[in-house]
């Protein structure tokens, strides 16, 4: 997969420590690359250690010492261990968290097994909750007065999509979770912002699973006439992670090329 260009806006994230789940591929890998290019030290978390290592090799590494963490976001124990290990290695919790870990297991509603529905919600929604909770607790315990959490939703969580009852439900839940988290964590004593990004159809390994004829029809519906690049989502993540968005919390930014506007 071609990751695409990395858009740099200077070292907006210099000296920041960022945790990116699902960092082994797709949008997660592009976010890791974007953050590293803007000066952040990156903790690449993924359930696929080999993919995470590939991401690590692609990161610019001047003074930053990026690292890989094998993590199952559906497991409270694994997520707790992830945050604890990051604190042990870097002597601080991550002040930036991006929840990119996600899966699809598509099937029409009338044919979908309950286990398939539950599995997607556990990764996409429960996993996001567990990481938000663990990272926020660590930031608060550390006495931090700033932090930024960015959750990856999806435009189909807003409009629905054939064959994706589980995925769309999980991504709609991510938006609601983001708003509630923002309200609870933005109090002055905490100062943690929480926002969501709703990508449209992005050129990633997940999109590669969609039949070509279906993708062709999707592109015809996009006013900009093409799929998005993962780096274009990563650039928005960097904006929300940086102080450029210091008065933004609880929002959902669509990165769709105009699809479903």
**CB-based contacts of 19, cutoff 8 Å, min separation 6:** 43, 45, 82, 83, 86, 94, 96, 97, 98, 131, 135
> Can you state the angle between helices 165-185 and 114-121, rounded to 10 degrees?
30
**CB-based contacts of 195, cutoff 8 Å, min separation 6:** 148, 149, 150, 151, 178, 182, 240, 245, 248, 249, 250, 251, 252, 253
Given the residues 167, 188, 190, 247, the one annotated as active site: 167
**Are the C-beta atoms of residues 106 and 78 closer than 8 Å to each other?**
no
Phi, psi of 85 (to 5 degrees): -65, -40
Distance CA 256, CA 222 (A): 8
User: CA nearest 247: which of 182, 184, 199?
Assistant: 182
Distance CA 72, CA 93 (A): 19
User: CA nearest 134: which of 199, 89, 181?
Assistant: 181
List the structure tokens of 200: 């449209």
Beta-bridge partner residues of 67:
43
Label residue 188 exposed, middle or buried (CB < 10 Å: 0-12, 13-18, 19+).
Answer: exposed
188 noted as active-site residue: no
Q: Which residues are catalytic?
A: 167
């Amino acid at each position: 997969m071609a990751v695409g260009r990395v858009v740099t806006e200077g070292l907006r994230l210099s000296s920041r420590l960022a945790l990116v789940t699902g960092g082994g591929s797709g949008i997660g890998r592009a976010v890791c690359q974007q953050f590293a290019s803007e000066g952040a030290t990156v903790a690449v978390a993924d359930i696929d250690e080999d993919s995470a290592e590939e991401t690590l090799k692609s990161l610019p590494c001047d003074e930053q010492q990026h690292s890989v963490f094998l993590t199952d976001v559906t497991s409270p124990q694994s997520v707790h261990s992830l945050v604890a290990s990051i604190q042990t290695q870097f002597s601080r919790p991550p002040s930036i968290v991006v929840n990119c870990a996600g899966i699809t297991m598509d099937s029409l509603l009338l044919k979908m097994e309950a286990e398939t529905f539950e599995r997607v919600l556990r990764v996409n929604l429960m996993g996001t909750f567990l990481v938000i909770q663990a990272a926020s607790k660590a930031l608060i315990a550390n006495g931090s007065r700033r932090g930024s959490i960015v959750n990856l939703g999806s435009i189909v969580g807003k409009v629905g999509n054939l064959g994706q009852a589980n995925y769309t439900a999980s991504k709609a839940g991510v938006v609601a979770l983001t708003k509630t988290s923002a309200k609870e964590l933005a109090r002055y004593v905490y100062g943690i912002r929480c926002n969501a990004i709703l990508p449209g159809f992005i050129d990633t390994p997940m999109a590669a699973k969609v039949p070509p004829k279906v993708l062709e029809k999707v592109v015809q519906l996009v006013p900009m006439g093409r799929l998005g690049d993962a780096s274009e989502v990563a650039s928005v993540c960097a904006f929300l992670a940086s102080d450029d968005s210091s008065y933004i919390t609880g929002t959902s930014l669509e990165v769709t090329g105009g699809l479903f506007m």
